[in-house]
Amino acid sequence: MSAIQGKIESIKKDIEYIRLDGSDRMSRTYQVAIAYKDECPAAYNANWDTDTIIKALEVHIANLQVKEEEQKIRKKEMKLEKAKIKLQINTHIQSSSNSEAYVFDMSNKSFQSTVKIINEIQECDLSSDNKKELLKLLEEIKDSKEKNLKTAELLDFLSGMSANVVKAVLPFILGVIFPGIF
């Protein structure tokens, strides 16, 4: 059970607690309203009307359910983005005409070694303008908190580059995307 789901169950129990008949119903209503003062101000500001407090808590439950669904959607979007990146890498490798593109030296996955290799790439494979842009993108990935987004930009930039350029950059990209694996 997620934290949000636990919170929803707790609110439902409190609503049932308020609904119980008895001479102390107003006292229970007051206790619950005070308990949700910060989390659900509408319940606290309901002038101690039991039905209004219950409605406010039910609305709060609905808001929590929406929040939980948004979190699930964000997780699915992240998984989808990772899958897209993996697909782009595989597509680029498979479409490369140079068989050397299939062989990567994963010991060169650090930023410094990648920059060194890129600087050694000949002008026929990578123009100086493209080299500057590539180094800029690598620097952004290294310092970015949104590594997946920046990596997608880099992969887009790499489309159409020579196999030698891809071979130089791919170990770094794999190390960024899958740090525990590579």
**Domain ranges, residue 170:** 96-177
Domain end position, chosen among 58, 73, 88:
73
Residue 91 lies in a domain: no
Residue 44 lies in a domain: yes
Cα–Cα distance list, 100 to 53, 70, 93, 171 (Å): 68, 43, 10, 14
Return the amino acid letter for 108: N
Residue 89 contacts residue 182 (beta carbons within 8 Å): no
Model confidence at 91: pLDDT above 80: no
Cα–Cα distance list, 136 to 26, 152, 154, 161 (Å): 65, 14, 10, 16
Whole-number pLDDT of residue 102: 44
Residue 80 lies in a domain: no
- Same domain, residue pair 164 and 102: yes
Q: Judging by beta carbons within 10 Å of its beta carbon (0-12, 13-18, 19+), is residue 125 exposed, middle or buried? A: middle
- Same domain, residue pair 68 and 130: no
Residue 81 lies in a domain: no
* Of 46 and 12, more confident: 12
- Percent of the chain clearing pLDDT 70 (strictly above): 86
Model confidence at 86: pLDDT above 90: no
- Mean pLDDT for the chain overall: 79
Domain end position, chosen among 22, 40, 73:
73
- Same domain, residue pair 101 and 160: yes
pLDDT tens-digit map of 93-152: 666 544 444 445 555 567 777 777 777 777 676 777 777 888 888 888 777 777 777 777
DSSP designation for 182: -
- Same domain, residue pair 106 and 57: no
Buried b (16+ CB within 10 A) or exposed e, 61-81: beebeeebeeeeeeeeeeeee
- Same domain, residue pair 26 and 64: yes
Residue closest to 27 by CA, chosen among 45, 48, 9, 53: 48
Interacting residues of 169 by C-beta distance below 8 A, sequence separation 6+: 114, 118, 134, 138, 154, 158
Residue 38 lies in a domain: yes
Whole-number pLDDT of residue 94: 65
Residue 78 lies in a domain: no
Q: How many domains does the chain divide into? A: 2
Task: Tally Cβ neighbours within 10 Å of residue 35.
Answer: 15
Residue 42 lies in a domain: yes
- Same domain, residue pair 156 and 102: yes
- Same domain, residue pair 100 and 172: yes
Domain end position, chosen among 73, 108, 129:
73
Give alpha helix (H) positions in 36-146: 41-44, 50-95, 111-120, 128-143
Nearest-angstrom CA–CA distance, 61 and 125: 58
- Same domain, residue pair 68 and 104: no
Residue 86 lies in a domain: no
pLDDT tens-digit map of 3-18: 889 999 999 999 998 8
- Same domain, residue pair 100 and 32: no
